Amino acid sequence: MYMSVVRWQDHTIIISDTEGLLSLEESGSIFDNRMVSMAMLSSNIVLINHKGEFSSNLKHLIGMSFYAKLQIRSPLKPKLLFVLRDQSDTNVTGVFFRHLSKFKENLYNDSKFLKSSIDEELEINDQQLILLPNAFSSDTNPILAIEQTWRNRTFPTKILELRKMIFASLGDTSLQPYTDVSHLYQKIACNWDAIDRLGPNLLACKTLYELSVMNELRDIANEIIVGCINNVNQEGRLRIDHVLAAITHENQGDFDSAHFTDQFNVALQKLHEKILGNAHTEFNSKTDRSYFQLELKHKVQKMIEPPIMYTQVILRDEFNERLHRARHDARISSAQRRLIDTVQQKFDQNTNLSVDDLKSRIEMAYVAELEACNRTMQPEFEDLDQITDKILKFYNSALQRVRGSLVSDLAVIALKMLIDDAVKIEHERHKKANEKARSDLAEWKDSINRQVQLMQNSFEQGKNVANIVAEEIFDEVGRILLAKILHDVTADIVKSQFINHDAIQRQAYEESIGQANGDKILKYVLDINRFFLELSLREIKTSLVGIIYAHTLNAEQMIVSVITKSNDVAQMSEVDNSDLRVAFVIKPNDIIGFGTICCLLGFLL
């Protein structure tokens, strides 16, 4: 596409010229559809220079650009001017006016399934047509018996008529002008980005009829995909729960993350094969009709697997997160049990120990357990050699195709910087994990100290236990809300028409390595699945805000329901100490309010 700038009266006119449309070289690609769609999306006037008569190819190009304009929703309504060149008789305009009217009628009929009128998006006037002769004429000289060529005098006259038609169109006050060149560039760049991103799916068809058939096939496939995604999500989470259920405080000392990961991956692969096989069988059954071309069926059938694969990516990331959290919880639970057992043992050995002596023993046991936690956590994090090996393997495999364009010394320096940053990130992760373990154990230690301090006062001890129960209720509600939000967000990601596994892979590579963005290269190398999720969240940002808002509105009712249930259980339980039973009773109206809900959901927002 070429561009030039001219001045006309008080206006600056930008002229864009597309080259090579309807060529044999690009006949099997979507090049023509992209170029015509770009012109329709970005222009006030589109001059269509076509040889001979109106053709079906021209109708298909305009029809597909109309479809693209509907999907991308450009505010411009371009006026179409038709130039039919190489005409032997330029005086038969009435015939071609009728042809243009029929051409427009055919476009109407072909696009009925889109449920939108062409007149709302494109201005096609039956009179906006000019016939041009060939610029040169040739004939055989009867005397010299040679072919002679000369300029056709009619051609410049018709060109002047065309200029007048264009100027008349430019003078139309209904045209929406661009404010300046920056505005123009921004809109053109935005339009091309939309065409480039959506093109493979948006413009893959050559005709509107093919598009209508393709849309019907896609509707069938999308219905199957939604069912598959729901099944993968439900069964995948059941498998996550099943695998992680084996992690307890008793066996956390013999924990092997690779074993649990392999176990989950094998189960997920079997699930994938089963669901994909059922999906293909269902698709073939529902599309067993003669008017569904085999080529289109195969093309659409290939769309079924990527969303399922992407759902697995999300499930694997969720599994890794929950595996890490389960390991942490099991380790802390084991340490807490040993801590309380140690204190209980000391107290049983000597019931006359003072409160200060018990606190001293608690502190000693706490320090010992903290050191044990730090020792067991160390193997979970990668050291320098592991990080270096991972980055070099990635470089040697994924970047092999660009190695020839890299200067070796610069590549070594870049890899060294990448490794150094990766080591810093891993050290920071280790530091945060240690701080989290220390914080959890410290809270447990403080809780034991409070109970020890209140040993002589059963009423205060009961109130303390009630506070602990209330905190646990709020923590559990928070975990439930977070799980619901993550479930809904995951569902929106895998259902989005703008997100698929292949596109996200290309986008991740382009935004990181393709643009030499150091921060994103780190994300790409260290945790590509999480980087995929980050990119996917951009596409559903509005939906994400809506999901969080909806769950925020439901949070108060959920908390009230949980507390009411807790009170009922406490009131019905047969506890000998009536003071303790009373201490468990919580009044919802005393603690539930908007501020409480915001605090509870603050970490989600």
For residue 292, CA distances in Å to 206, 213, 214, 286, 487 come to 15, 7, 9, 11, 36
- Please indicate, yes or no, if residue 227 is contained in any of the structural domains: no
Tell me the pLDDT band of 398, cut-offs 50, 70 and 90.
low
- Looking at the chain, the whole-number percentage of residues with pLDDT higher than 90 is 5
Q: Per-residue pLDDT averaged across 289-311, rounded?
A: 84
Band of the pLDDT at 278, cuts 50, 70, 90? very high
Q: Look at the alpha carbons of 140, 144, 145, 146 in this order and tell me if their dihedral is positive or negative.
A: negative
Q: Which residue has the higher pLDDT, 496 or 161?
A: 161
Give how far Cα 560 sits from Cα of 408, 486, 563, 589, Å.
Answer: 64, 22, 5, 9
The pLDDT value given to residue 590:
37
Name the DSSP class of 351: T
- How many domains is the chain partitioned into structurally? 1
Residue 410 lies in a domain: no
Examine residue 181 and state whether it is found in any structural domain, yes or no: yes
Distance from C-alpha of 337 to C-alpha of 443, rounded to nearest angstrom: 13
pLDDT at 94 over 70: yes
What is the per-residue pLDDT for 271?
92
Least confident of 147-156, 274-283, 319-328, 371-380: 371-380
Classified as helix, coil or strand, 399 is: coil
Q: What is the pLDDT of residue 577?
A: 43
Query: 3-class DSSP state for residue 575?
Result: coil
Question: What mean pLDDT, rounded, does the chain reach?
Answer: 76
Select, from the ranges 47-51, 350-354, 451-455, the one with the highest average predicted confidence (pLDDT). Answer: 47-51
Highest mean pLDDT among 160-169, 334-343, 417-426, 487-496: 160-169
Say whether pLDDT at 356 is over 70. Answer: yes
pLDDT digits (tens, 9 = 90+) for 53-88: 888 888 888 888 888 888 888 888 888 999 998 888
Q: Is residue 67 part of a domain?
A: yes
The answer to whether residue 277 scores a pLDDT higher than 90 is: yes
pLDDT at 529: 66
49 vs 418, higher pLDDT: 49
Lowest-pLDDT range, 134-148, 238-252, 379-393, 484-498? 484-498
User: Distance from CA of residue 310 to its chain's centroid?
Assistant: 10
pLDDT confidence tier of residue 280, bands split at 50, 70 and 90: very high
Which residue would you say has higher pLDDT here, 288 or 521?
Answer: 288
- Quick one: average pLDDT of 133-150? 84
Q: Which residue has the higher pLDDT, 479 or 108?
A: 108
Looking at residue 28, its pLDDT comes to 56
Using CA atoms, how far apart are residues 106 and 115, in angstroms rounded to an integer? 15
Band the pLDDT of 500: cuts 50, 70, 90: low
Per-residue model confidence (pLDDT) at position 283? 93
Percent of the chain whose pLDDT exceeds 70: 78
pLDDT bucket at 167, cuts 50 / 70 / 90 = confident
Amino acid 279: pLDDT? 93
Contact 79, 44 (CB under 8 A): yes
Lowest mean pLDDT among 202-206, 271-275, 516-520, 594-598: 594-598
CA angle 41, 44, 49 (to 5 degrees): 85
pTM recorded for the entire structure? 0.58
The predicted-structure confidence for 302-338, as pLDDT tens digits, reads as follows 888 888 887 887 788 888 888 878 887 777 777 777 7
Inter-residue contact 191 to 42 (CB < 8 Å): yes
pLDDT, mean of residues 556-562: 76
Q: Does 531 fall in a domain?
A: no
Q: Is residue 234 domain-resident?
A: no
- Supply the range of the domain harboring residue 124: 2-205
Domain membership of residue 92 (yes or no) is: yes
Could you give phi then psi for residue 350, rounded to 5 degrees?
A: -145, 95
The whole-angstrom separation of Cα 431 and Cα 175 is: 61
User: What band does 542 get if pLDDT is binned at 50, 70 and 90?
Assistant: low
Q: What is the pLDDT of residue 589?
A: 37
Kindly report, residue by residue over 170-191, the tens digit of the pLDDT.
Answer: 877 566 678 888 888 888 888 8
Bridge-based pairing of strands 79-85 and 123-131 is parallel
Q: Is the pLDDT of residue 260 over 90?
A: no
- More confident of the two residues 43 and 249: 43
Position 62 in a domain: yes
State the pLDDT at residue 247.
80
Q: Name the phi and psi angles at 479, rounded to 5.
A: -65, -40
How far, in Å, CA of 492 to CA of 497, rounded?
10
